[in-house]
Amino acid sequence: MLLIDNESNISLHVSLLEQICNAHTHKEVELLIVDAQSIQELNREHRGKDTPTDVLSFPIDDFPHSPLGSIVINHELAHEKAKELGHEIEEEIALLFIHGLLHLLGFDHEVDSGEMRDKEEALINQYKLPQSLIVRTI
């Protein structure tokens, strides 16, 4: 189940986001769409990095019936990246959502041997999306 709090006026491909979520977890996932200032505050508070970022994931401890966690996406950076790469913001949000969801599911590209990149690339292809941030950086 996907719960969405869209603090912006951007369009979302909700059915695709729900499809991605439901295919990979039976747990509740919260998606928050925020501005650059809000995500910078979260990044500073939780990661000690005083800069805006594109996506953050906050897993919740695995208790019976607990949600999987929250994904926070910066709509301003998503818009910039979509424009720069020539695709729709809805696609960029979906790419960032996949990235965040994989983190909630325990993947970590900062310490793994490419497993998250491989999984993300497979999902990008499965859902016919443009190349994502993790794939673009290689």
**Per-residue model confidence (pLDDT) at position 133:** 55
CA distance 50 to 70: 20
Tens digit of pLDDT at every position of the chain (138 positions):
899 999 888 889 999 999 999 999 999 999 999 999 999 999 999 999 999 999 999 999 777 788 999 999 999 999 999 998 889 999 999 999 999 999 999 888 877 777 888 899 999 999 999 875 555 454
Q: 114 phi and psi, to 5 degrees?
A: 100, 0
Domains and CATH numbers, the chain: 2-136 (3.40.390.30)
| Cβ atoms 92, 55 nearer than 8 A | no
SS3 for 123? helix
Give me the pLDDT at residue 64, please.
76
pLDDT the model gives residue 132: 58
Q: Residue 115: its pLDDT value, please?
A: 87
Integer Cα distance of 72 and 83 in angstroms: 20
Adjacency order of strands within the sheet including 55-59: 2-6, 29-34, 69-74, 55-59
